Chain A
Amino acid sequence: MDDRDGDFDGFVRARHHALIRFAFAITGDLPTAEDLVQNALERTGARWNLVQFRQGNPEAYVRQAIVNGNRTRWRSRRREHLVADVPDVMAREDDVPDRTDAVWQALRRLPRRQRAVLVLRFCEDFSVHDTADLLRCSEGTIKSQTSKALATLRAVLKAEEPTWT
């Protein structure tokens, strides 16, 4: 193991959980998030020197790889097997309240790109410019995607709960 692998291991130890949570936020599915993070970290590790010294911000590179991996996830999803009956999941007492659950479920139904925009903008506190940079699109696209996503989300939540404002 050379120095670059040592640095990479340190980065993974420090940021792995945060990256998993980020991936979970934009996918809404923990196993998928773990797969995305694993792939993104493998890519990053394979070109660690390049990422570290040219880009200077390995975490931004990994996040971008996670977002791109989520965008192209349809390729692997085609290999998934659909089943008629899903296993029962036991509810836990410390489950999140219904209201946040409704928002979370509505978020999961958004198109991936819109969901990623909302997570980056409102949960990761990215600016419009940084979000556009990460998603490799224009700032105007980010603004329009944010507007559409919020409108969709509001409509879905109002349909389920008319008292929602």
Chain B
Amino acid sequence: MDLETAIREAVTARIAAVPSAPAPLRALRLGVERRRRHGRALMATAVLAVLPAVAVTYGFATAAADTRVKHAQAQATAGGTSPGTAPAPSCTPDDLTNVHATWAPVSDLVLSGTLEVTSAAPSPCAMGTPRFTLVNDGGSPIDPNLSPADVLDAAAQTVIAPSQTAAAVIRWGGSYCGAHGPVALKWTLPSGLSITVALSTATTLQCVSSPYYEKGQSTTAASQFVVVP
């Protein structure tokens, strides 16, 4: 008898003596359930360990995205001003339509009115600060020494959505002496390009001297653009 056969016989003889007992199903079921619970607990522990890192990463990502969405919504729907640099591109003359300016005397020495504009741009654009100079009927500045209008809250940026109308309050005060009064204003956009807007009423202020203005002196000022509801 060779060794392999002897091994087979020895093992077969021994395992044949193993008593046949009913399978311990109840104990097995309990053990299986215990192992399933253990596996679920391990999984839960792993998830709980990973969750904070995921939450922090997800939180940062969604917060940044949410901020961007809110910012865009605020710009698109309300057109409100927001501090800091507006992400929208600056409006160009081609983006704007229905540009007109009106004003009327507020007092003997002051004219006040509005500069209105409607966006024809396909997407929101930044209006920038309303910097303008007054020009006479010859197209020249009425006073070469007159600096561009002072702008209130120059740091603010107004973004105008498509089809929205924005307006800025303009003011000219002073004592202007000359034959050719301001008939238009030359509005310089942030892009550097300008729009010349005819004033509704060409007005020549009186040539007077006052405690505030000497003869020939004048100042201009403007507010920021606000969206017209």
Residues of A within 8 A of B (CB): 1, 5, 8-9, 12-13, 16-17, 20-22, 24-25, 30, 33, 38-39, 41-43, 45-46, 96, 99-101, 103-104, 107, 118-119, 122-123, 150, 153-154, 157
Report whether A107 and B7 are in contact in the complex, using a CB–CB cutoff of 8 Å: yes
Report whether B12 and A123 are in contact in the complex, using a CB–CB cutoff of 8 Å: yes
Q: Give the interface centre of A25, A101, A150 by most chain B CB atoms within 10 Å.
A: A25
Report whether A16 and B6 are in contact in the complex, using a CB–CB cutoff of 8 Å: no
Residues of B within 8 A of A (CB): 3-4, 6-15, 17-18, 20-21, 23-25, 27-29, 31-32, 34-36, 39
Report whether A17 and B8 are in contact in the complex, using a CB–CB cutoff of 8 Å: no
- With A43-B35, A100-B6, A122-B8 already in contact, the answer to whether A38 and B28 are too (CB < 8 A) is yes
Report whether B29 and A103 are in contact in the complex, using a CB–CB cutoff of 8 Å: no
Nearest chain B CB to A42 CB, angstrom units: 4
- With A107-B10, A122-B7 already in contact, the answer to whether A41 and B35 are too (CB < 8 A) is no
A-B pairs, top 5 by smallest CB distance, nearest first, are: A45-B32, A42-B31, A103-B10, A16-B23, A46-B35
Interface of A is mostly: helix
Cα A43 to Cα B34 in complex, Å, equals 10
Given A45-B35, A100-B14, 19 extra CB contacts under 8 A? A12-B28, A17-B20, A17-B21, A21-B15, A33-B18, A38-B24, A38-B27, A38-B31, A42-B35, A43-B35, A45-B31, A99-B6, A100-B6, A100-B10, A103-B9, A103-B10, A104-B11, A123-B11, A153-B3
Cα A147 to Cα B21 in complex, Å, equals 36
- Between A and B, 20 residue pairs with Cβ closer than 8 Å are A9-B25, A12-B23, A16-B23, A17-B23, A21-B18, A25-B11, A30-B18, A33-B18, A38-B27, A41-B32, A42-B28, A42-B34, A96-B14, A100-B6, A104-B14, A122-B11, A150-B3, A150-B4, A153-B7, A157-B3
Report whether B15 and A25 are in contact in the complex, using a CB–CB cutoff of 8 Å: yes
Q: Give the interface centre of A12, A13, A22, A46 by most chain B CB atoms within 10 Å.
A: A46
Report whether B14 and A122 are in contact in the complex, using a CB–CB cutoff of 8 Å: no
Of the candidates B3, B25, B27, the one whose C-beta lies within 8 Å of that of A13 is: B25
Nearest chain B CB to A115 CB, angstrom units: 10
Cα A16 to Cα B34 in complex, Å, equals 20
Cα A118 to Cα B17 in complex, Å, equals 20
Report whether B3 and A101 are in contact in the complex, using a CB–CB cutoff of 8 Å: no
Report whether A24 and B7 are in contact in the complex, using a CB–CB cutoff of 8 Å: no
Report whether A96 and B31 are in contact in the complex, using a CB–CB cutoff of 8 Å: no
Cα A96 to Cα B10 in complex, Å, equals 8
Cα A3 to Cα B34 in complex, Å, equals 18
Nearest chain B CB to A92 CB, angstrom units: 9
Cα A123 to Cα B9 in complex, Å, equals 8
Nearest chain B CB to A160 CB, angstrom units: 13
Cα A44 to Cα B21 in complex, Å, equals 20
Report whether A101 and B10 are in contact in the complex, using a CB–CB cutoff of 8 Å: yes
Report whether A20 and B18 are in contact in the complex, using a CB–CB cutoff of 8 Å: yes
